[in-house]
């Protein structure tokens, strides 16, 4: 069974300023730093103070768990103030995003129940559709 401390995995710059992504388990060759999996993607995204992941949607469900910090999450038309220990679920096709409005770093665990993950950011001028290694 592959094992590594998440902080030992190199962080890759995210798509948006102030974000970084560590993909722990995922498709071979697409960021699964610890172990390749054809059935799950698990990783950690870090948001610096003021960083935002704009509303986007996926072709697959996504679960989040707040590991550290606090911020504002949007799922569908609802916004939630979330902090360490909170969990959220966004269903396939449902818009969701996150804002770090605090003065501290936020760390989110994310999980997808599959590796063929695509993201669309409908509010951006340029359409972004990426696979699991570069979703944020």
Show me where the domains of the chain are located. 31-37+49-134
Fold of 31-37+49-134: Jelly Rolls (2.60.120)
Per-residue pLDDT of 98-135, as tens digits, reads 999 999 999 999 999 998 888 999 888 655 555 544 55
Please provide the size of the chain in residues. Answer: 136
Which tens digit of pLDDT belongs to each residue from 52-77?
999 999 999 999 999 999 999 999 99
Tell me: the pLDDT tens digits for 25-57? Answer: 886 544 555 567 778 899 999 999 999 999 999
């Amino acid at each position: 069974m592959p094992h590594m401390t998440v902080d030992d995995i190199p962080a890759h710059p995210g798509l948006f300023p102030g974000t970084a992504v560590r993909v722990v388990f995922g498709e071979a060759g697409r960021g699964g730093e610890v172990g390749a999996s054809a059935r799950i993607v698990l990783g950690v995204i870090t948001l610096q103070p003021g960083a935002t992941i704009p509303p986007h949607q996926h072709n697959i469900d996504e679960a989040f768990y707040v590991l550290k910090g606090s911020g504002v999450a949007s799922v569908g038309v609802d916004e939630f103030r979330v902090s360490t220990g909170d969990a959220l679920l966004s269903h396939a096709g449902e818009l969701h995003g996150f804002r770090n409005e605090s003065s501290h770093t936020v760390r989110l665990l994310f999980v997808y129940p599959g590796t063929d993950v695509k993201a669309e950011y409908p509010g951006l001028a340029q359409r972004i559709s990426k696979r699991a290694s570069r979703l944020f």
